[in-house]
Chains A and B, each alone.
Chain A
């Protein structure tokens, strides 16, 4: 379990975290927010890599952490790299080999045990990072942008891997890819400007934008009523249309909202 109360982190005059509060039980939580929202700062404070300026953090049990940038000495083999982390985590020597092999198997790297890290692909190094995070079977897992830079096949592999953890641990996954949290997470934590905006389910986020999303023909662009927020240009049945978020009626048809629409609704406020 993870409890955070009024967490603050300042770098001189800049405030990266401002009174963030969370209470996380067992389950998979997605931490969603734009670049610079404070997601990585929050995670670093949780695992002790950064010292917060104020507030309290209570974590029950051990925590495994995958940082945004993970690397390890290229001359080590995958096994030796995990052995290094096992040493740091204080895993008993007798059980270490079994733990390491089990972690490698769970991330699909059992065949890469004797391969040097520098010979592994980016996705495999990322999986090695997850393997070191799950070493010792920690009660909590904190993963910072685990799927960033990975191809669709690797991202799917990661999602299947994380789904194994459901119900057994507290897993907190930071990402700015809405698709990843939508399919995987029980709860979604929205963050912006160093603050927690809300903690909601995917359905609740969709509901927040329901009735406020319009599909507008491109020809009606000049007739859009302010205030509105242009989500994106999209091709619908071969026709270019504007996807618009607005509280006022727009010259187009209302369409079902997605989690991403709900996310933007919270980010932009009333539009």
Chain B
């Protein structure tokens, strides 16, 4: 476990864009934008902005840490040597789980900071965690299938954006499983849970594919 954590840190710190963007967005950008709205408009509008930003950016940022790590193992020129040195280590599902846990912790920090001002934001944490489970699992599977992190990231990111943009369209709404909702209490928990389970299955499929190859 210690070695995996050290490897995660060593690889991710070499992709600073992937490493530092999520904390910058969750702990700086979203709170700053919310605070500005509270000062210029009112608390109710600021709350609405906070929820919209969380539902848009948290799942997207959740793709960066796994994407940055997968870059070295799935498509880099050094991946073969890395796998050869990792005797016995046949898939990255452990690392994906660690990254997911770490990201949930980061989101919890951001939520804790907003909680005194907006108690209702607590419901955004499990919602974002379920969405990120779907996103990370699907990303992992697509990256292993395509052996390319960009090709794996684009469909997942596009789907998140699609859900955000077209959930209000009567013709496309049924495709938007991860539709944003205001207030947070109106979240479709059965569908979100199902998506999270799909993400988990996708992770397992990716791990099995890697073990089969390795």
A233 to B196, CA, bound (A): 66
List A contacts of B76 (CB < 8 A). Answer: 71-73
Nearest to B87 among chain A residues (CB) is A48
Cβ of B80 within 8 Å of any chain A Cβ, yes or no, is yes
Q: With A76-B14, A87-B7 known to touch, is A70 a contact of B81 (CB < 8 Å)? A: yes
A68 to B78, CA, bound (A): 10
A66 to B81, CA, bound (A): 7
CB–CB A89/B85 < 8 A: yes
Total contacting residues, chain A, CB less than 8 A: 27
CB–CB A67/B81 < 8 A: yes
Q: With A50-B214, A84-B10, A87-B7 known to touch, is A69 a contact of B85 (CB < 8 Å)? A: no
List B contacts of A89 (CB < 8 A). Answer: 85
List A residues 56-77 near B (Cβ within 8 Å).
63, 65-73, 75-76
Cβ of A178 within 8 Å of any chain B Cβ, yes or no, is no
List A contacts of B85 (CB < 8 A). Answer: 65, 85, 88-89, 132
List B residues 82-108 near A (Cβ within 8 Å).
82-87
Most-contacted residue by chain A among B6, B80, B84 (CB, 10 A): B84
| Chain B window 69-84, contacts with chain A (Cβ cutoff 8 Å), 1 for yes, 0 for no | 0001000111011111
Most-contacted residue by chain B among A44, A71, A88 (CB, 10 A): A88
CB–CB B86/A88 < 8 A: yes
List A contacts of B72 (CB < 8 A). Answer: 73
List A residues 96-124 near B (Cβ within 8 Å).
none
B16 to chain A, nearest CB (A): 9
List A contacts of B7 (CB < 8 A). Answer: 84, 87-88
A90 to B4, CA, bound (A): 11
A33 to chain B, nearest CB (A): 19
List B contacts of A262 (CB < 8 A). Answer: none
CB–CB A65/B14 < 8 A: no
Q: With A65-B81, A69-B77 known to touch, is A50 a contact of B213 (CB < 8 Å)? A: yes
CB–CB B14/A67 < 8 A: no
CB–CB A67/B10 < 8 A: no
Nearest to A125 among chain B residues (CB) is B77
| Chain B window 173-213, contacts with chain A (Cβ cutoff 8 Å), 1 for yes, 0 for no | 00000000000000000000000000000000000000011
A50 to B14, CA, bound (A): 27
Cβ of A236 within 8 Å of any chain B Cβ, yes or no, is no
Cβ of A51 within 8 Å of any chain B Cβ, yes or no, is yes
List B contacts of A65 (CB < 8 A). Answer: 80-81, 84-85
List B contacts of A75 (CB < 8 A). Answer: 14
A170 to chain B, nearest CB (A): 16
B120 to chain A, nearest CB (A): 43
CB–CB B3/A47 < 8 A: no
List A contacts of B6 (CB < 8 A). Answer: 87
Cβ of A38 within 8 Å of any chain B Cβ, yes or no, is no
Nearest to A85 among chain B residues (CB) is B85
Q: CB within 8 Å of B: which residues of A?
A: 44, 47-51, 63, 65-73, 75-76, 84-85, 87-90, 129, 132-133
12 CB < 8 A contacts A-B: A48-B87, A50-B214, A65-B80, A70-B77, A70-B78, A70-B80, A71-B76, A71-B78, A72-B81, A88-B3, A88-B86, A89-B85
Given contact pairs A48-B214, A68-B80, enumerate 20 new A-B contacts (beta carbons under 8 Å): A49-B84, A50-B213, A51-B212, A65-B84, A67-B84, A69-B77, A69-B80, A70-B80, A72-B76, A72-B77, A72-B81, A73-B72, A73-B76, A75-B14, A87-B3, A87-B10, A88-B82, A88-B86, A89-B85, A90-B3
